[in-house]
Amino acid sequence: MAKTDKKSAAPKLSTKLSTAAAPKGQAIDIGISADHRAAIAKGLNGLLADTFTLYLTTHNFHWNVTGPMFNALHNMFMDQYTELWNAVDPIAERVRALGYPAIGSFADFAKASSLPDAPVEPPKAKEMIRILVAGHEAVARTARALYPLVDEASDEPSADLLTQRLDIHEKTAWMLRSLLEE
């Protein structure tokens, strides 16, 4: 999704309003200021972009893995891309609950993601594992970078979502790293 020259560090979050305006209609009064809602929605859209990019890369590797670890990795990657696919909806719905549109185009994901796109040529199995470790670690950094803002705003639902995502990405990175040990 994102250009390969992008850094995988989580983007700095600003409390400035998102470029996308809150939808018109009934005012939102959920106990979180408009500025906080806008900044959190922007950060969650970044998490959404990272999650979808990692989903695509993992699914790509599921299709293209070869070698002696084929069966184990093919099945592991399927479990991982299924988990990532199931994660995008709650993230997008939290953005909507805050009153902002969830991004959803490849162009938007490419702009907002901190992860590089999958390699054009499928790499060898161990390189796939390294790429996925880096991807899960990057998504964890994105989630963790948003956490202080969410905590400041007393946005418990977003905090819960971030905590769940951190747990999944950190555990998955650990499990993948363990496959690289000699």
Beta strands in the chain (DSSP E): none
User: What's the pLDDT at 112?
Assistant: 97
| Residue 27, domain member (yes or no) | no
| Residue 62, domain member (yes or no) | yes
The structure tokens listed for 25 are: 């209609």
The total of structural domains in the chain comes to 1
Q: Is the pLDDT reported for residue 9 higher than 80?
A: no
pLDDT tens digits, one per residue of 100-153: 999 999 999 999 999 999 999 999 999 999 999 999 999 999 999 999 999 999
- Rounded to an integer, what distance in angstroms lies between the CA atom of residue 124 and that of residue 66? 7
| Residue 52, domain member (yes or no) | yes
pLDDT tens digits, one per residue of 79-88: 999 999 999 9
| Residue 7, domain member (yes or no) | no
3-state secondary structure of 66: coil
| Residue 26, domain member (yes or no) | no
| pTM of the predicted structure, to 2 decimals | 0.87
The structure tokens listed for 10 are: 């989580």
User: What's the pLDDT at 82?
Assistant: 98
Q: Do residues 104 and 92 lie in contact, with contact meaning Cβ atoms separated by under 8 Å?
A: yes
| Residue 25, domain member (yes or no) | no
Region label for 81, one of left (φ > 0), alpha (ψ between -120 and 50) or beta (otherwise): alpha
| Residue 167, domain member (yes or no) | yes
Give the H or E element holding residue 99: none
| Residue 17, domain member (yes or no) | no
| Of 101 and 23, the one with more pLDDT | 101
- Rounded to an integer, what distance in angstroms lies between the CA atom of residue 34 and that of residue 49? 22
Q: What is the CATH number of the domain that holds 115?
A: 1.20.1260.10
Mean pLDDT of 20-33: 79
DSSP state, residue 8 = -
Distance of CA 169 to the CA centre of its chain: 9
3-state secondary structure of 128: helix
User: What's the pLDDT at 64?
Assistant: 98
Q: Do residues 36 and 13 lie in contact, with contact meaning Cβ atoms separated by under 8 Å?
A: no
Give the structural domain span for 141. 34-178
User: What's the pLDDT at 6?
Assistant: 41
Sign of CA dihedral 153, 158, 164, 166: negative
| Of 12 and 74, the one with more pLDDT | 74
- Rounded to an integer, what distance in angstroms lies between the CA atom of residue 94 and that of residue 98? 6
